Amino acid sequence: MPEYKAPLREIKFVMDELLDMPAHYASIPAYAEVATPDMIDAILAEGAKFCEQELAPLQRVGDIEGCTRHEDGSVTTPTGFKEAYAKFVEGGWPSLAHDEAHGGQGLPESLGTVMSEMVGTSNWSWGMYPGLSHGAMNTIDLHGTDEQKHTYLTKLVSGEWTGTMCLTEPHCGSDLGILKTKAEANADGSYAISGTKIFISAGEHDMAENIVHIVLARLPGAPEGTKGISLFIVPKFLPNEDGTPGERNAVTCGSIEHKMGIHGNATCVMNFDGAKGWLIGPENKGLNCMFTFMNTARIGTALQGATAAEASFQGALAYAKDRLAMRALTGPKAPEKPADPIIVHPDVRRMLLTQKAFAEGGRALVYLAAQQNDIVKKGETEEERKAADELLGFLTPIAKAFLTEVGYEATNLGVQVFGGHGFIAEWGMEQLVRDTKIACIYEGTTGIQALDLLGRKVLMTQGASLRNFTKQVHKFCQAEEGNETLAPLVATLAEYNKEWGDLTMKIGMAAMKNRDEVGSASVDYLMYSGYVTLAFLWARMAKVAQEALANGTSEEEFYKAKLTTAKFYFARVLPRAKGHAISMLAGADTVMDLAEEHFAF
CA 234 to chain centre: 26
Select from 400, 413, 481, 558 the least CA-distant residue to 14. 558
Stretch that binds a second copy, among 168-176, 210-218, 270-278, 279-287 (CB under 8 A): 168-176
Cβ of residue 67: shortest distance to a second copy, in angstroms?
14
- Identify which of residues 295 and 565 has a Cβ nearer to a second copy in the complex: 565
Q: Which of residues 352-391 bind a second copy (CB under 8 A)?
A: 352-353, 356
Q: Which helix (H) or strand (E) holds 377?
A: helix 346-378
Among 45, 460, 479, 594, indicate the residue that binds a second copy (CB under 8 A): 594
Q: Which amino acid is at 38?
A: D
Identified binder of a second copy from the candidate list 142, 346, 464, 512, rule CB under 8 A: 346
Q: Which of 139, 154, 143 is nearest to 103 (CA)?
A: 154
142 touches a second copy (CB under 8 A) = no
CA distances from 494 to 280, 473, 498 (A): 47, 8, 6
Residue 145 or 174: the one with the smaller Cβ distance to a second copy is 174
Q: Which of 132, 306, 308, 348 binds a second copy (CB under 8 A)?
A: 348
CA distance 357 to 570: 10
DSSP state of 205: -
Binding test (CB under 8 A) with a second copy, winner from 343, 477, 510, 548: 343
DSSP string of 263-293, one letter each residue: TTS-EEEEEEEEEEEEEESSTTBHHHHHHTT
Residue from the set 164, 446, 465, 533 that interacts with a second copy by CB under 8 A: 446
Instruction: Return the DSSP state at 398.
Output: I
**Residues 393-412 interacting with a second copy (rule: CB under 8 A):** 408, 412
Stretch 293-332: interaction string toward a second copy, x if CB under 8 A = --------------------xx--x---x--xxx-xxx--
# chain residues binding a second copy, by CB under 8 A: 109
520 counts as binding a second copy under rule CB under 8 A: yes
Task: Quote the least distance from Cβ 480 to a second copy, whole Å.
Answer: 21
- Give helix 109-143 / helix 429-436 axis angle, nearest 10°: 30
Based on CB atoms, which residue is closest to a second copy, 372 or 522? 522
Residues 6 or more apart in contact with residue 532 via CB below 8 angstroms: 473, 493, 496, 497, 500, 574, 577
What's the CA angle centered on 135, arms 98 and 285, to 5 degrees? 115
CA distance 375 to 392: 10
173 binds a second copy (CB under 8 A): yes
Burial class for 301, CB neighbours closer than 10 Å (0-12, 13-18, 19+): buried
Residue closer to a second copy, measured from CB, 231 or 415: 415
Residue whose CB is less far from a second copy, 112 or 361: 361
What is d(CA 301, CA 402) in angstroms, rounded to the nearest whole number? 11
Site residues (CB under 8 A) for a second copy, limited to 77-116: none
Is residue 508 close enough to count as binding a second copy by CB under 8 A?
Answer: no
- 443 noted as active-site residue: yes
CA distances from 425 to 59, 266, 419, 428, 439 (A): 12, 20, 13, 6, 20
42 binds a second copy (CB under 8 A): no
Q: What is the CA radius of gyration of the chain?
A: 24
| 572 lies in the binding site for a second copy (CB under 8 A) | yes
150 versus 421: smaller Cβ distance to a second copy: 421
Q: Is 564 in the site for a second copy (CB under 8 A)?
A: yes
Give yes or no for residue 454 binding a second copy (CB under 8 A). Answer: no
Q: Which stretch binds a second copy (CB under 8 A): 80-88, 97-105, 391-399, 566-574?
A: 566-574
Sign for the CA dihedral angle at 315, 319, 320, 322 comes to positive
Closer CB to a second copy, residue 192 or residue 561? Answer: 561
Q: Which of 117, 169, 360, 443 is catalytic?
A: 443
Site residues for a second copy, 203-262, by CB under 8 A, read 257-261
Does 544 sit near a second copy (CB under 8 A)? no
Nearer to a second copy, 469 or 568 (CB): 568
Q: Is 269 in contact with 253 (CB distance < 8 Å)?
A: yes
44: contact with a second copy by CB under 8 A = no
Q: Which residues are catalytic?
A: 443
